[in-house]
Amino acid sequence: AEVHYHDFIVRAKSVKRLCKTREIITVNGQFPGPTLQVRNGDSLVIRVVNHAKYNVTLHWHGVRQMRNGWADGPAYVTQCPIQQGGIYTYRFTIEDQEGTLWWHAHVSWLRATVYGALIILPRENYPYPKPHREFPVILGEWWNKNPLDVIRQALKTGAAPNVSDAFTINGQPGDLYRCSSKETTTFLVTAGETVLLRFINAAMENELFVAIADHDMTVVGADASYTKPFTTSIILLGPGQTTDVLIQTNQPPGRYYIAAHAYHSAPPSVTFDNTTTTAILDYIHNPKSATSPKLASLPVFNDTAAAAAFTAGIKSPAPVQIPSPVDNHLFVTVGLGLFDCPRNKRCGGPNGTRFAASMNNFSFVLPSRTSLLQASELGGPAATGVFTADFPASPPMHFDYTGNVSRSLWQPIRATKLYPIKFGSVVEMVLQGTNIFAAEEHPMHIHGYEFYVLATGKGNFDARRDSRRFNLVDPPRRNTIGVPQKGWAVIRFTADNPGVWLMHCHIDSHLTWGLATAFLVSNGVGESESTLPPPPDLPTC
Ligand code: C2O
């Protein structure tokens, strides 16, 4: 196994998009940031130097970080941010993961431009069918304004953040936007090849449908786990998710669009970015005179059936060992909520309220003096009051979560509540979407873990009826799962990674509003089941 050393200099850079020049935060002046390519079993040593005028942290999305929360990255969860002018070195090893992951900033809304691919190849000499070519395809969003101002404004008024001005593929909006044609991302291929496209949804606020003109996609991986190959004309990725697909370049030489637009599961009255980003799949030797690229056909924005069918198609390639029996049964609501407007203020949310979001009706608040991991590991008396370990295993009351929920039933409470789990126990979690203000799909992500998705469905979860639908044979292993709009998802995992691990909706406004909690997984027996000591350069708050 190899050790890969990188310097990541976080700094501002001016870039032009949609006819306007704006300063963005980047790593090494690159947007998207550098692609990391490693092999299973390799280690990474990434020295982050913060030359931006904001505090920063980086998160290695999907990397399990066994016993090593210190390298995970979410601000105030596993570390204090790297201050302006500060340096912190992330050291971690890839243990039994292969496929596509990614990295991104994990503080405020910096990840809008601070992200890149993390590609994990199989171990050396491990035989696998190599594609002729492969490309990371990173989907993102673009705002003409500084995204940090977009969320600041939203928090100030209590309203929803302004929708993005464009979607991007590898940093470029593409042909269909103003002043963007020349820079449209192009993937050069030749006829008769098998090409691996590693899709990553790095968008802040949107799940995205993707289609390629005249080319079907065979899905072979998701979230750095192999999947049973299945062929489809569209794929769907929630923010945080990755999907590896193979395509055959078996069409007449030409230019074909790879297109993406939003999957908008909220009611049509909720505004969203309804634009389409494109890149071009370009067969080399295509005569210069070529006409415009062939159009790709995407599902309509609210095609819930297409979304559900795609999600249901993802399975493990072979029967898996499902963790059992279950020690911790959780039933957790996920959804939006509304806070009252403080007196003498005018709020911009629905009916003069402010937006909030919650899990089991607790709207998660981050500490500011230390991180949760530092408090739990090193805290001593100073840590008292940083968090409590009493996140409830079920909601405060039961009702029709997906019906017309009255606001008076469901007023979120701000708190920093962690859910304690004993090392080695098996956790099963029903994630129940709610319909407060507006129901929409929530891509739920867990740090430091992968989980099996046993089932997803519509309406209120009913244990007796729905547990019969659990896939206990070949469920997919993922780190992010979309909880369907007005529906539910059931996940299961073994708590074999001690430390503090964030769980949250990967739609960034929802995270900002508190759609999060964290697991506090105890140490097991001996060093090999205990959290590693903190690195000496761990930032302080
Ligand atoms: Cu991509 Cu908290 O994560």
* Each residue's pLDDT tens digit, 384-422: 789 999 999 999 888 899 998 877 777 899 999 999 999
For the Cβ of 240 lying below 6 angstroms from any atom of ligand 1, the answer is yes
**Other C-beta atoms within 10 Å of 219: how many?**
21
How far apart are the CA of 288 and the centre of ligand 1, in A? 43
For the Cβ of 200 lying below 6 angstroms from any atom of ligand 1, the answer is no
Q: How many Å apart are CA 516 and CA 359, to the nearest integer?
A: 6
How far apart are the CA of 66 and the centre of ligand 1, in A? 16
**Other C-beta atoms within 10 Å of 333: how many?**
24
For the Cβ of 443 lying below 6 angstroms from any atom of ligand 1, the answer is no
User: Are 375 and 77 contacting, i.e. CB atoms less than 8 angstroms apart?
Assistant: no
Domains present along the chain, CATH in parentheses: 1-125 (2.60.40.420), 129-314 (2.60.40.420), 328-529 (2.60.40.420)
Question: Helices marked H in 129-235 — which ranges?
Answer: 147-157
Q: How many Å apart are CA 466 and CA 328, to the nearest integer?
A: 18
295 φ/ψ sector (left φ>0, alpha ψ -120 to 50, else beta): beta
User: Are 400 and 225 contacting, i.e. CB atoms less than 8 angstroms apart?
Assistant: no
Nearest atom in ligand 1 to the alpha carbon of residue 102 is 1
Count the residues in the chain.
Answer: 541
Query: How far lies 409's CA from each of 351, 399, 404, 436, 516, in Å?
Result: 17, 9, 11, 10, 20
How far apart are the CA of 252 and the centre of ligand 1, in A? 40
Residue owning the nearest CA to atom 1 of ligand 1: 61
For the Cβ of 106 lying below 6 angstroms from any atom of ligand 1, the answer is yes
| Residue position matching structure tokens 């055959």 | 248
Structure letter (DSSP) for residue 41: T
For the Cβ of 204 lying below 6 angstroms from any atom of ligand 1, the answer is no
pTM for this predicted structure: 0.97
How far apart are the CA of 235 and the centre of ligand 1, in A? 21
pLDDT of 267: 87
Half-sphere exposure of residue 96: CA atoms within 13 angstroms, side-chain side: 4
Query: How far lies 204's CA from each of 13, 124, 372, in Å?
Result: 20, 35, 24
Residue owning the nearest CA to atom 3 of ligand 1: 61
Q: How many Å apart are CA 495 and CA 92, to the nearest integer?
A: 19
Q: Tens digit of pLDDT for each residue in 35-68?
A: 999 999 999 999 999 999 999 999 999 999 999 9
| Residue position matching structure tokens 């539910």 | 488
Q: Which two tokens stand for residue 90?
A: 């992330």
Structure letter (DSSP) for residue 394: S
Please list, in sequence order, all residues whose beta carbon lies within 8 angstroms of the beta carbon of residue 27, skipping any fewer than 6 positions away.
Answer: 8, 9, 10, 33, 34, 114, 116
For the Cβ of 445 lying below 6 angstroms from any atom of ligand 1, the answer is yes
For the Cβ of 510 lying below 6 angstroms from any atom of ligand 1, the answer is no
Q: Which two tokens stand for residue 506?
A: 């990967």
Q: How many Å apart are CA 388 and CA 535, to the nearest integer?
A: 25
User: Are 157 and 347 contacting, i.e. CB atoms less than 8 angstroms apart?
Assistant: yes
Nearest partner of 27 among 6, 44, 3, judged by Cα: 6
* Residue 382 backbone phi and psi in degrees, to 5: -65, -25
Nearest partner of 220 among 198, 189, 253, judged by Cα: 198
Q: With the C-alpha atoms ordered 478, 480, 486, 489, is the resulting torsion angle positive or negative? A: positive
For the Cβ of 59 lying below 6 angstroms from any atom of ligand 1, the answer is yes
pLDDT of 48: 98
Collect the ranges in the chain with pLDDT lower than 70.
285-290, 381-382
How far apart are the CA of 240 and the centre of ligand 1, in A? 7
Maximum Cα–Cα distance for the chain, whole Å? Answer: 73
Q: How many Å apart are CA 240 and CA 261, to the nearest integer?
A: 16
pLDDT of 97: 97
Omega before residue 252 within 30° of 0, cis: no
Nearest atom in ligand 1 to the alpha carbon of residue 111 is 1
The pairing of strands 186-189 and 418-421 is unpaired
Q: Has the ipTM of the complex gone over 0.95?
A: yes
The DSSP-derived string for 278-313 is EEEEEETT--TT--SPBPP-PPPTT-HHHHHHHHHT
How far apart are the CA of 366 and the centre of ligand 1, in A? 15
Q: Tens digit of pLDDT for each residue in 461-475?
A: 999 999 999 999 999
Q: How many Å apart are CA 479 and CA 504, to the nearest integer?
A: 11
| Residue position matching structure tokens 């929920």 | 405
User: Are 271 and 264 contacting, i.e. CB atoms less than 8 angstroms apart?
Assistant: no
How far apart are the CA of 262 and the centre of ligand 1, in A? 20
Query: How far lies 178's CA from each of 13, 203, 338, in Å?
Result: 21, 20, 37
Q: Is 462 exposed, middle or buried (0-12, 13-18, 19+ CB in 10 A)?
A: exposed
User: Are 478 and 222 contacting, i.e. CB atoms less than 8 angstroms apart?
Assistant: yes
How far apart are the CA of 406 and the centre of ligand 1, in A? 31
For the Cβ of 417 lying below 6 angstroms from any atom of ligand 1, the answer is no
For the Cβ of 498 lying below 6 angstroms from any atom of ligand 1, the answer is no
Nearest partner of 299 among 227, 228, 207, 382, judged by Cα: 207
pLDDT of 182: 94
For the Cβ of 448 lying below 6 angstroms from any atom of ligand 1, the answer is no
For the Cβ of 74 lying below 6 angstroms from any atom of ligand 1, the answer is yes
Please list, in sequence order, all residues whose beta carbon lies within 8 angstroms of the beta carbon of residue 180, skipping any fewer than 6 positions away.
Answer: 17, 18, 166, 172, 173, 174
For the Cβ of 502 lying below 6 angstroms from any atom of ligand 1, the answer is yes
How far apart are the CA of 59 and the centre of ligand 1, in A? 7
How far apart are the CA of 497 and the centre of ligand 1, in A? 17
Please list, in sequence order, all residues whose beta carbon lies within 8 angstroms of the beta carbon of residue 151, skipping any fewer than 6 positions away.
Answer: 108, 109, 161, 508, 509, 512
